[in-house]
A and B are shown apart, each in its own frame.
Chain A
Amino acid sequence: MNGPLILEGEACLAGARLFPPLRLTLQPGKWLTLLGPSGVGKTTLLRLIAGLPVAAEFRGQITGARPAALMAQDPGLLPWATVAQNITLGPRLRGTRPDQARLQAILDQTGLADHAQKRPAQLSGGQRQRAALARALMEDRPLFLLDEPFSALDIALRHRMQDLTASLLRDHMVLMISHDPAEAARLSDHIYVLTRAGLQQVSPPADDGRLRPRPLDGPDTRRCEAELIALLMAAT
């Protein structure tokens, strides 16, 4: 599981082409962000890599596939379970005993230690998203799949969640779907824009490669954002 994950292929939806033949490579320890207009197949790509059913017909192959942890815009918390039970959902569904020390560490990291016994309805929107992040961390999988995880949050919360997620997922293989050029510029090691024409790579802001998330007013962050916005506008 140390090699890259490579998706190669094309997809059709109801007879019409969804995306043309393309090749997407996820590198170990790197954060890849995929942007693009709605309905172009970004989530289809993510679901294919997750092994989830898709409506589209995919012709191609995925090499280096590995178990993933999922975090989406909808936190998908079970309303009848406590925060701690939600975070340990994976082990509980697989019938294995959750690692309590690990749970405690993750509760501390995500600032949920005081909320472990609450139900999701008692949490704020930001806390719910942190619980979803904690649940993904608890899975301890070699790949993190994030499908617009921050897009329902207000701007301040979104930045705090980005900071937290970037620090906790550092050096993990990550694929994030996003609509937000600023988010992509702040968090990513690799950035791609998916359009009807295919995948286009955009170079992330130049930096020493270690500071994550990058500062908003970093030297090259604005350039990267502007480039992404121009590409997205040209695509629609």
Chain B
Amino acid sequence: MIRAALIFCTLIGIWQGVIWLTALPPFLLPAPRAVAGALWSHRAELGAASLRTGAETILGFALGAVIGIGLALLMAASAFVARWIRPVVVISQTIPIFALAPILTLWLGYGMAPKLAVVALISFFPIAGALYDGLQRVPAARLDLAQVMGAGGGVTLFRIRLPSALPDLASGLRLAAVLAPVGAVIGEWVGGSQGLGAVMLHANGRMRIDLVFASLALVVALSLAFQALVSRGLAARLERFAG
């Protein structure tokens, strides 16, 4: 906690120092105090936008987790399925998300759906990858026992392999939690009128750099909070369960 506060103060100090040294005009780099002022004077707008982006992050992440876990289980259940799904999954990650987001908006409209799709698209991959690896690396002694005991493939998958792979799922969730808020902001940036990404886009167009920075600060705060929530609330529990 003390370290976090120190890092925060140091970064603010460097920021203020750059302004003193370079005397950059406020429309290029606003001072920390100006950003704090924008945060306060636009608190209603920014609060609503944060709620919106937060909701997109949580829902999109949940959707991505369901898809990622489902894909990993499917691939682990059948080597045949894995051979066909793996390339598709990899291809899905080669598409630049900034290029795809406008197309998703075109298809799904200006509401929340395309944002959820973007968040799910970038968060499912680390979850599916980590869980699939974990399902393939279960201690051999456990698998031997299950087979000698006469357990079928499905029972072994859900009762032995999945619980054994929960720590791997936890690291996938942690990684995806870092990416999810970025996905929400990208989705808002390319199409939409709500959320922090939309606020940033409009403020940028009106040269309100202080408001851009204020939104940016909220994105960072939201990302850190979401990461902490997933890491401590979810991932740590999974790790503790799997012992």
Contact = CB atoms under 8 A, between A and B. Distances in A.
Contacts of A121: 243
Interface string B156-189: 1001100110000000000000000000000000
A159 B56 CA distance: 61
Interface of B: 139, 141-142, 144-151, 155-156, 159-160, 163-164, 241-243
The 9 closest A-B pairs by CB, nearest first: A79-B243, A76-B141, A93-B151, A74-B141, A90-B149, A70-B148, A76-B145, A76-B142, A93-B149
Nearest to B145: A76
Given A67-B150, A93-B159, A80 B243 contact: yes
Contacts of B164: 78
B interface, over-half SS: helix
Contacts, number: 57
Nearest to B144: A52
Residue among B148, B155, B163, B241 with the highest chain A CB neighbour number at 10 A? B148
A72 interface: yes
A94 B149 contact: yes
A51 interface: yes
Given A74-B141, A76-B141, A76-B142, A89 B147 contact: no
B148 A80 contact: no
Contacts of A139: 149
Interface in A179-222: none
Nearest to A91: B149
Contacts of A52: 144, 147-148
Interface of A: 47, 50-52, 67-70, 72, 74-76, 78-80, 89-90, 92-95, 119-121, 135, 139, 145
A94 B145 CA distance: 12
B163 A93 contact: no
Given A70-B148, A135-B145, 18 more contacts: A51-B147, A51-B148, A67-B150, A70-B145, A72-B144, A74-B139, A76-B141, A76-B142, A76-B144, A76-B145, A78-B164, A89-B145, A92-B159, A93-B146, A93-B159, A93-B160, A95-B155, A121-B243
A25 to B, nearest CB: 21
9 contacts: A69-B148, A74-B139, A89-B145, A89-B149, A93-B146, A93-B150, A93-B151, A93-B155, A94-B150
A72 B140 CA distance: 11
A50 B148 contact: yes
B50 to A, nearest CB: 37
Contacts of A76: 139, 141-142, 144-145
A139 B151 CA distance: 13
Contact of A80 (B144, B147, B242): B242
A50 B141 CA distance: 13
